[in-house]
Amino acid sequence: MRVVITGGAGFIGSYLVDHYINTDNEVIVIDNLITGHEDNIKQHLGKKQFQFLKEDVVEVSTLAGPIDLILHFASPASPFDYLRYPIETMKTASYGTHNMLELAKEKNAKFVLASTSEVYGDPAVHPQKEDYWGNVNPVGPRAVYDEGKRFAEAITVAYHGVYGVATNIVRIFNTYGERMREGDGRVIPTFVTQALRDEPLSIFGDGKQTRSFCYVSDMIRGITQLAKIDYQMPINLGDPHEFTIIELAEVVKELTGTGSEYAFMPLPQDDPKKRKPDISVAKELLNWEPEVGLKQGLTRVIEWFRRRI
Is position 176 annotated as part of the catalytic site?
no
DSSP 208-228: --EEE-EEHHHHHHHHHHHTT
Name 264's Cβ contacts closer than 8 Å, sequence gap at least 6. Answer: 203, 204, 205, 206, 207
β-strand partners of 112: 71, 168
Q: Active-site residue among 15, 20, 85, 145?
A: 145
d(CA 152, CA 170): 11
Any idea what the Cα angle at residue 233 is, between residues 230 and 235, rounded to 5°?
95
The widest CA-to-CA distance across the chain, in whole angstroms, is: 58
Q: Please, are residues 163 and 105 in contact by the beta-carbon 8 Å criterion? A: yes
Q: Which of 280, 277, 290 is nearest to 219 (CA)?
A: 290
Residues annotated as catalytic are 145
